[in-house]
Amino acid sequence: MFLTRFLGKRSSQPSEVKIELEHDVYLAQNGDLDVRNQLIARYTPFISQVASKVCKRFIDPSRDDEFSVAMEAFDEAINKYAAGKGSSFLSFADLVIRRRTIDFIRKEARHRGQLSLEQTLEGEEESELSPIETQASIQQYQLDYEASLRKEEIDHYKEKLKEFDIDLMDLPEISPKHADARQNAIQVARTLASNQRLATLFKEKKKLPMKELMNEVEVSRKTVERNRNYIVAIILLLMEDYHYLQSYLQLDEKGG
């Protein structure tokens, strides 16, 4: 609940501030180092907070490697952010920081495990693990790592849904029963998510901009109203950088 309120406050900042932030990101992407450094300095508390949430402990910027990883991730987010996708910069940066921090933690844990194994086997002529067992261990690590990323995406998605009073567990119930109805709803969601003006209205008002949206789609207003929560859920899925969730749900051009 706390995280939901936190994200809600962050995403409800005045539109002027959002525009200024995205303009600064644009300048940084185009080589303005002063603006880039100002962005990093201004959002250092945000960077530290996201890293702390992932690590579930306070991250000390002066000594914790996780903070350096999070700072680099924020810089990466500046480089890769695309305003036209609809997701706010801070929401995008949140995901990038989470992913890179988890990646670092996993690699460190794996490295420590390898060191422990090497120390245990020191002086022995050959490892107790066969090549097959070693390969299986690596594969299991990759599966665990991807599972963590999926969990982070799901947790983030749940928080975004709550901003619209939608519970993740209710999605099967609100999904249209017929395939053609689902495809129509997904197409409405795609139309809004790909239209920067509509996406901006959606984020600012925290609801579907019905008047403007109906000028862009071919389905009836009644149909959109009936499937409102499902459409909102798909919009959020499309607007955010949910690599694993989008792949899992297979939201291709035909719907899904």
pLDDT at position 98 is 87
pLDDT at position 248 is 59
pLDDT at position 210 is 94
pLDDT at position 39 is 93
pLDDT at position 139 is 57
Could you give the residue ranges of the DSSP H alpha helices within 81-130?
A: 89-120
CB within 8 Å of 37: residues ≥ 6 apart? none
| Neighbouring C-beta atoms of residue 253, cutoff 10 Å | 9
pLDDT at position 7 is 31
**What φ, ψ does residue 242 adopt, rounded to 5°?**
-95, 85
Residue by residue, pLDDT tens for the chain (256 residues) are: 333 332 333 333 445 666 788 889 999 999 999 999 999 999 998 899 888 888 888 888 888 899 999 999 999 999 988 876 656 788 888 888 988 888 888 787 766 655 544 444 344 344 444 555 545 555 555 566 567 677 778 888 888 898 899 998 888 888 888 888 888 999 999 999 989 899 999 988 889 999 999 999 989 999 999 999 999 999 998 887 777 777 655 554 444 4
pLDDT at position 123 is 40
**What φ, ψ does residue 100 adopt, rounded to 5°?**
-70, -35
What would the two tokens of residue 118 be? 């090497």
pLDDT at position 256 is 46
pLDDT at position 143 is 63
> Phi/psi zone of residue 86: left (φ > 0), alpha (ψ -120 to 50 degrees), beta?
left
Q: What is the pTM of this model?
A: 0.51
